[in-house]
Every structure is written in structure tokens, then in C-alpha cells.
Amino acid sequence: MRASDIVCMDEAFRLAKKSFDEGGLPIGSVLAEGTRILGRGHNRRVQQGDPILHGEMDCLRDAGRRASYRETTLYTTLSPCMMCAGTIVQFKIPRVIVGENRNFGGNEQFLRDHGVEVILLDDTRCRELMRNYIEANPSVWNEDIAEDAPRGGAGGQ
């Protein structure tokens, strides 16, 4: 990892914490070109009522239109879902740094299969913040990952 990677992941974590403090899912993201941050975002599905406003999508929206993403790195505190991974591939973002994937095993192999360099940090801060959110808000988390909430009783019925 480069020194700029640490700075950008720290910013992504700060954004995840901001979302957590707002009552939203604690996922932050930064798009950078070298040391220059182009966009910042955090998951605002809950806050805005927008089902596609994941951290990565918010970040890319903040970065605005670009002719090319070929020299960029996307930082995200949680492994990207398929929607976000597809967008990364579509925009040809060559490098993604992931804070953690224990709470959600996203689509890292999909990214690799499409030529994206994926670096997993297994960052304790990211992992614990997400775990705390999931434990406190299981139904919101299940909604976010499109899982049916358990119905209770034996066998989830």
C-alpha cells in the first residue's frame, strides 16, 4: 500500500462513521487519482430513502462525470455489492481497496475476474463499526443486502 492509500481509507472510514452517526449504514467511499481525492460518499439509503445510494454510488456521483477512470482507485470500507462492483467494472476503475469483507463477502472475485486489482485490508475499525450497526439494526441490514428478514420461530418460519 501507498501512503496515499492510508489517507484515503482513513477518509472513507470517517465517511462511514458519519453515516453511522446519521443512523445510516456505515459504509464510506473515496475515489482518488494518486493523492488527489476526486469524490467522497457514504451510504445514504436510509437517510435519503434511495435504494441505490450505496457508499460507492454516492462517491461516484460526487466525483461527477469523467472521461476516464483508468488512473483512479476506489476505496470502500465494505466489500462492494454486485451493483457497485458492476459499476466499478463498467467505468473500468482499475484498483479497489476494501476495508473489510467479514460482515459482507461482496463481489471481489467478480472484480478480479474483470481485471480489477482488489486489495483487502481487513481493517478492524471498519469491521467493528459495521458489526455494531448490523447487531443494532438487523432488519435494515437485511433490506440493504436484499435478504428476507427472519420470520421467527424454529427454522426461521
Output the pLDDT for position 142.
Answer: 81
Assess whether pLDDT exceeds 80 at residue 108.
yes
22 is catalytic: no
Tell me the whole-structure pTM to 2 decimals. 0.91
Output the pLDDT for position 155.
Answer: 31
Alpha-carbon separation of residue 110 from 14, 71, 119, 123 (angstroms): 27, 20, 14, 21
Weakest mean pLDDT among 20-24, 62-66, 140-144: 140-144
Q: How far apart are CA 8 and CA 31, in angstroms?
A: 8
| Residue range 143-157: mean pLDDT, rounded | 50
- Name the active-site residue from 11, 56, 108, 147: 56
**What's the order of all strands across the beta sheet hosting 28-33?**
36-42, 28-33, 73-76, 95-98, 117-120
